[in-house]
Chains A and B, each alone.
Chain A
């Protein structure tokens, strides 16, 4: 763990040095939608350092979470025909630097990695990708409408769940602070300091000291057992407005359900893995035609209890970081925060 102080005027070139040698994934606004874009063109063609510096400075949340860099929407696993079967080589050529990831998303990626790595099954595809990714985190200046990271015990100003965390200056005389939390991050900071872009200072754990948002406690949790909520909560009333569009699961930084499919390509078959969504009628549909989650009531119950009860029981974390994406994007105004408050006995 190291901390380097980078003066304002050297900030842009310092960020340029960070992403040098990586394919940079930078939030870029196009047609009003802020989205991570992989910049795999030649570095000279675009002002990558400028874009990255803007992304660090930008105080908005990209509409999709950065989970796709660890857990892509579609991933080919093997190709087979009548005679042979070959595993698809993992694409490890690209080293990706994901720039400007906010603390809510950083914590969400931690949950994802735990699910894919620490459980009964280890997923080499997902965890292998982590080694090729440099996560560059940054804080949020203010809460956006629908955000509730504070209630989920997440400090919007700081997170150590990344390789490098960039802390913005608090006032005009202040400088940027680059913190490193991994071996890879330490190396980059070394290069930065030897390159003359900044100087080391005593590591100062900013969490809690720098205007934390009073979030050391996870307020929004479900204490009750699953069995207490499964049948007693009014799931029908809670889910009445839901249209089942599933957009909440696609943009959620922690949703990680997947499905396996086969696709024909010539005389070969490709088996691939793709995102699934508990909001869909096809989710966990049995071959017999029976569906244990036949209506939106069961599906929405699965979504809430999975996030707040099942993952916590199995892996120790609540799989919701309060990024508020699902609340902002829902066409019917569903609000997971209010639902959790309601069923955990705290009245809104």
Chain B
């Protein structure tokens, strides 16, 4: 898809969004709507909390809508509407599956998405290799061409609700699903470098600021194990040992729970690219248990479910 088409696509979607938000407020379906507004800095957007019609004028939807909105849902703001890209919708589905959120309290405005951009115009991390372009969960869907589809209508057409049906998607947009990944990691390709050296090289850059944890959809424990003091699990000395405990611990906690939004890499101030580790565990869950986080809110979380037919190869992957 040409760049100018992309711009037009978001313009169409933005116009529809404003209408939907106005309707939501009028009908009293949402006390607050989580959406995007233009940022102070060029090529950026910021989260917007719409509580009245006046704020709708600030609404923006363009190719820089990368901030994660779904995490605010955990703050219990009452009936909430949310503008959700596929990764955000997957996070919502995960929250519902993990009993963190009641489905009836959230109205999901799904956005068909072709990937968002970083401030510098490159494809955002997560978007590079994303294969889910239609949110798996929504109440109303705003398609790339600006068409608005209600949930009932959408299922009636028989189209799969957001599963990786790239063939259907590509027929619509005329673009190949995989835009390539300049980080050298591709979800479907086997990992090239699994060495300890690579891991250490990435960890070397880490300053243990925990920003990735705060930005992550999957990290919502009231008290993170890293924040426990009695006893303390690690020292705050950013040595290799503490960094390994943190990153491996986080990866294990995210096993089968990462919705591939890329927020961890986007927020990292020192460019630590550790997502490959979590992706590896994600693809393990997909291969062994056929599970992908946030694709179906009715599905039991993979590590909370027991099935006697499960393969017993364990985490070490030794058959």
**Chain A residues close to B by CB (< 8 Å):** 30-33, 35, 63-64, 73-74, 145-146, 240-241, 243-247, 250-251, 259, 261, 263, 272, 274, 277, 280-282, 285, 327-329, 331-333, 335, 337-338
Asked if B49 and A240 make an inter-chain contact with CB atoms under 8 angstroms apart, the answer reads yes
Least CB distance from A112 to B in Å reads 18
Partner of A333, one of B67, B211, B237, B271: B67
Asked if B67 and A332 make an inter-chain contact with CB atoms under 8 angstroms apart, the answer reads yes
Return chain B residues, CB-CB under 8 Å to A243.
71, 214-215
Of the listed residues B211, B213, B215, the one surrounded by the most CB atoms of chain A closer than 10 A to its CB is: B211
Closest to A148 in B: B40
CA distance A335 to B29 in the complex (A): 30
Asked if B214 and A145 make an inter-chain contact with CB atoms under 8 angstroms apart, the answer reads no
Contacts A32-B271, A33-B270, A74-B236 known; A327 to B207 CB distance under 8 Å?
Answer: no
Closest to A63 in B: B269
Nearest 5 Cβ contacts at the A-B interface: A333-B46, A245-B214, A245-B211, A247-B211, A145-B41
Return chain B residues, CB-CB under 8 Å to A263.
235, 237
Asked if A63 and B67 make an inter-chain contact with CB atoms under 8 angstroms apart, the answer reads no
Contacts A250-B209, A331-B215 known; A281 to B223 CB distance under 8 Å?
Answer: yes
Return chain A residues, CB-CB under 8 Å to B67.
331-333
Asked if A329 and B237 make an inter-chain contact with CB atoms under 8 angstroms apart, the answer reads no
Return chain A residues, CB-CB under 8 Å to B44.
333
Return chain A residues, CB-CB under 8 Å to B209.
245-247, 250, 277
CA distance A140 to B263 in the complex (A): 31
15 pairs across A/B with beta carbons < 8 Å? A33-B270, A35-B270, A74-B237, A145-B42, A243-B215, A244-B214, A245-B209, A245-B214, A247-B211, A263-B235, A272-B235, A285-B229, A332-B46, A333-B47, A335-B40
B225 contacts A by Cβ under 8 Å: no
Return chain A residues, CB-CB under 8 Å to B7.
none
Closest to A68 in B: B207
Q: Mark B232-245, 1 if CB is under 8 A from A, else 0.
A: 10011110000000
Least CB distance from B225 to A in Å reads 12
Least CB distance from A100 to B in Å reads 19
Return chain A residues, CB-CB under 8 Å to B42.
145
Closest to B229 in A: A282
Asked if A146 and B41 make an inter-chain contact with CB atoms under 8 angstroms apart, the answer reads yes
**Chain B residues close to A by CB (< 8 Å):** 39-42, 44-47, 49, 67-68, 71-72, 205, 207, 209-211, 213-215, 223, 227, 229, 232, 235-238, 263, 266-267, 269-271
Asked if B211 and A331 make an inter-chain contact with CB atoms under 8 angstroms apart, the answer reads yes
Return chain A residues, CB-CB under 8 Å to B271.
30-33
Closest to B40 in A: A335
CA distance A317 to B40 in the complex (A): 26
Asked if B232 and A241 make an inter-chain contact with CB atoms under 8 angstroms apart, the answer reads no
Return chain A residues, CB-CB under 8 Å to B40.
146, 327, 333, 335, 337-338
Least CB distance from B261 to A in Å reads 11
Asked if B236 and A281 make an inter-chain contact with CB atoms under 8 angstroms apart, the answer reads no
CA distance A261 to B270 in the complex (A): 25
Partner of B214, one of A246, A261, A282, A333: A246
CA distance A306 to B215 in the complex (A): 24
CA distance A285 to B211 in the complex (A): 20
Return chain B residues, CB-CB under 8 Å to A272.
235, 237
Closest to A147 in B: B41
CA distance A32 to B269 in the complex (A): 11
CA distance A263 to B236 in the complex (A): 9
CA distance A102 to B266 in the complex (A): 25
CA distance A250 to B209 in the complex (A): 7
Return chain B residues, CB-CB under 8 Å to A261.
232, 235-237
CA distance A240 to B40 in the complex (A): 17
CA distance A299 to B40 in the complex (A): 23
Contacts A33-B271, A64-B269, A331-B263 known; A245 to B210 CB distance under 8 Å?
Answer: yes
Asked if B269 and A247 make an inter-chain contact with CB atoms under 8 angstroms apart, the answer reads yes
Asked if A259 and B236 make an inter-chain contact with CB atoms under 8 angstroms apart, the answer reads yes
CA distance A73 to B232 in the complex (A): 18
Asked if A250 and B214 make an inter-chain contact with CB atoms under 8 angstroms apart, the answer reads no
Asked if A331 and B267 make an inter-chain contact with CB atoms under 8 angstroms apart, the answer reads yes
Return chain B residues, CB-CB under 8 Å to A64.
207, 269-270
Least CB distance from A198 to B in Å reads 37
Return chain A residues, CB-CB under 8 Å to B223.
281
Contacts A251-B269, A333-B47 known; A328 to B236 CB distance under 8 Å?
Answer: no
Return chain B residues, CB-CB under 8 Å to A335.
40, 46
Partner of A281, one of B49, B68, B227: B227
Asked if A73 and B47 make an inter-chain contact with CB atoms under 8 angstroms apart, the answer reads no
Partner of B267, one of A32, A241, A247: A247
CA distance A73 to B166 in the complex (A): 47
CA distance A120 to B71 in the complex (A): 42
CA distance A34 to B235 in the complex (A): 27
Least CB distance from B241 to A in Å reads 10
Least CB distance from B207 to A in Å reads 7
Closest to A244 in B: B214
Closest to B237 in A: A74
CA distance A63 to B49 in the complex (A): 29
